[in-house]
Structure 1
C-alpha cells in the first residue's frame, strides 16, 4: 500500500453550543480508526496514536465535549453519552469516512460500546483497553470500594472533598453529592479538589509508582490545572447525572460479528478486570489479553506493548478493508 501521509485538524460545530476539536494523521489510503479518550474529560493524548502503525491506519483523534480544545470548556449542559455518540457520527460524516475501527480506553471503551450499539454498520472492528462497563458496581468500586486496597489513598481523597465541601463523604453517592458544588466554582478551591481527584485516579492507575516511569508532561501549570478541572468536573457529572447507561453487555449481539481485541491489566484498580472478562464472554469474536503485573495506565510498558500487538492483530483480522467514502 502506497502511503500518503496526511495531517489535518480543525473544529467541528456539533450543535447545542458545542464545538469539538479533531485531528487526523497517518496513511490517508488506509482504513480509518477513531481514538476515544478516557475520563470523561481526559482529552485526546497524541501519544496514543504512537501505539498504532501509521502506515496501516488513518488515525483520527478528537476532544470530547467540554475538555481539551473543544468549546465551551467545562460545559455540562447537553453533555451526555448520547451527545458524544452523536459527535462521533458527525465527525465521521464530516471527514467523509464510510466505516472505521474504534480504539477506546477506560471511559473510551464505554463510549465505543455505546457507539457500536447505535451504529454497528459504521464499525470495522475494535481495540479496547481497560474496560469500563459503567454499571453501578463499577462506579462504586472506583469511588468507594477500592479503599479496601488503597485505604490511605482513599482517605486522602476524602480529606480533599471534606476540605472543599465542609462535609466528609460516607459512601460513593456522597462523594458525588458533596463534590459537585466545589468543582463547579472554577476557583482556587475547585482547582485544589480537581487536582486531588486527578492524583487519586493517577495513583490507582499505576502498579509501579516509580516516578522514572511517568509519561512526559510538557504542560504549563495553568494547562495542568485546566486538565485536572475538566477531568474531575466531567467525571463527576457523568457518574452523578449520566450513569449507569443502558446496559452495554446485552447490546453486544448487535456488533458481535466484528473483531475485537481487548487489553486489560490484571491489577487494574480503576476498572477491575472482571469487566473485561464479562465483555469477552459475551463477544464470540473478542480476544482478551490480560497483562500481568500491570494496572490501568495506558503507557505501562506491558500494557503499551500489548496494545501495539493487539492493533496489529486487529488490522490483520480486518484484512483488506478499505476506507469507504
Structure 2
C-alpha cells in the first residue's frame, strides 16, 4: 500500500533536488527488465529505497531524504511498474521474485551491505528481505508499517477504514454488485483482470482513489483520478499481491520470523493517524524486534509526504550519517 510522495509543504524539509549519476535497465529474468538508478555520492554509504504499493514506483522526490554528499542512493521500480517492463504485468511477479531482484541489484552494483529504506508495502518488502538476508542489512528504516496480514487487509478493504470515511467508502463499494461486496478484493480482481482496457482502467482508478483519499491528513475528499497507466499498474499489482496474501507461507509470517533480524538495528517511523496502515502493526513489530526504535509522529497520516513523517525520516538518515 502506498502512493508516490506528493509535492507539498514537506518539500521544504528535504534535501535539494538531484539527478541520478547512473540509470539502467537490469534484466532480472522471467521476461522482466527493472529500472534502476543511483544518485548522490558514488562512493558513499549505500542505501536502497523500496517504494510502496506494490505497484507504486519510485519518484524523484524519494531521492531527497538523503544527504547527497554522504549517501549512495539506489532506487528501482519493482517488477511491472514505473519504468520497469513489461508494464502492469503480474507474470513471475511475487514477493520472492522481488527479494531476488534486490539481491541481484546489490550484487550487480558491488555493494556488500546497505541501509534498507522502505514505507508501507516498501516496509513489508524491507522486512521480508532482511529476514532472508540479514547479513546484507546495516540498518532498516521503515515508515507506515504493513505486515501483510489478513487483519490489515480486512481493515482497509472490509469496511474498517470506511467507518471513518463513509462517503469515500461508498464510492469504492458501489461500483461492485451487492452480491459481490463481501469480498471486495476478489470483486475488483475480476474487473482489473477482465481483459477489457476500459473496465480495467475504470476500476484501477477507483482502487487507487480509495487509497489516495486516505493517505494524508490534508485530504478532505476523493483522491481524484490517477493517470490511467499509473493506476492500472498500481491497482493490478496491489490486487494481485493481496489476492495471494503477499505470497507468504502463513498469516503473520513477518512477526513469526522477527528473530532473524534480532541483531539488525532499525528505526520505525509511524503516523499516529495512519488510516491505511494503523499503528497497531508498528507496535507489534517493535515489541517483536528489540533492536528497533519506534517513533510515533503526532498529527500525521500515512503518506511519505506528510511533513511530520518527512522531517522524522530526514532526521533519522542524518543521524545514521553521523554514525549514531
Q: TM-score range by the shorter chain?
A: 0.7 to 0.9
Alpha-carbon separation, structure 1, partners of 2:285 and 2:23: 33
Query: What secondary structure sits across from 2:181 in the alignment?
Result: coil
| More divergent stretch after superposition (283-292 vs 62-71) | 283-292
Alpha-carbon separation, structure 1, partners of 2:78 and 2:247: 19
User: Is the 8 Å Cα contact of residues 100 and 125 (structure 1) preserved in structure 2?
Assistant: yes
Match of 1:290 in 2: 296
Match of 1:322 in 2: none
Query: What secondary structure sits across from 1:133 in the alignment?
Result: coil
Tell me how many residue pairs correspond in the alignment.
300
TM-aligned CA deviation for residue 210 of structure 1: 6.3
Are 1:75 and 2:89 an aligned pair? yes
Alpha-carbon separation, structure 2, partners of 1:227 and 1:276: 28
TM-score by length of 2: 0.88
TM-aligned CA deviation for residue 242 of structure 1: 4.0
Query: What secondary structure sits across from 1:264 in the alignment?
Result: strand
User: Is the 8 Å Cα contact of residues 148 and 245 (structure 2) preserved in structure 1?
Assistant: no
Query: What secondary structure sits across from 2:174 in the alignment?
Result: helix
| Equivalent in 175, 178, 181 of residue 187 of structure 2 | 178
User: Is the 8 Å Cα contact of residues 20 and 37 (structure 2) preserved in structure 1?
Assistant: no
User: Is the 8 Å Cα contact of residues 42 and 67 (structure 1) preserved in structure 2?
Assistant: yes
TM-score by length of 1: 0.87
Map 1:82-231 onto structure 2 (within 5 A): 82-144=96-158, 145-160=160-175, 162=176, 166=177, 169-171=180-182, 174-184=183-193, 185=195, 187-209=197-219, 224-231=227-234
User: Is the 8 Å Cα contact of residues 152 and 277 (structure 2) preserved in structure 1?
Assistant: yes
Point out where structure 1 has 5 or more consecutive residues left out of the alignment: 215-220, 320-325
What's the RMSD between the two structures over aligned residues?
A: 2.0
| More divergent stretch after superposition (247-256 vs 272-281) | 247-256
TM-aligned CA deviation for residue 71 of structure 1: 0.9
Point out where structure 2 has 5 or more consecutive residues left out of the alignment: 1-18
Distance 1:249 1:315, change over 3 A: farther
Query: What secondary structure sits across from 1:205 in the alignment?
Result: coil
User: Is the 8 Å Cα contact of residues 135 and 245 (structure 1) preserved in structure 2?
Assistant: no
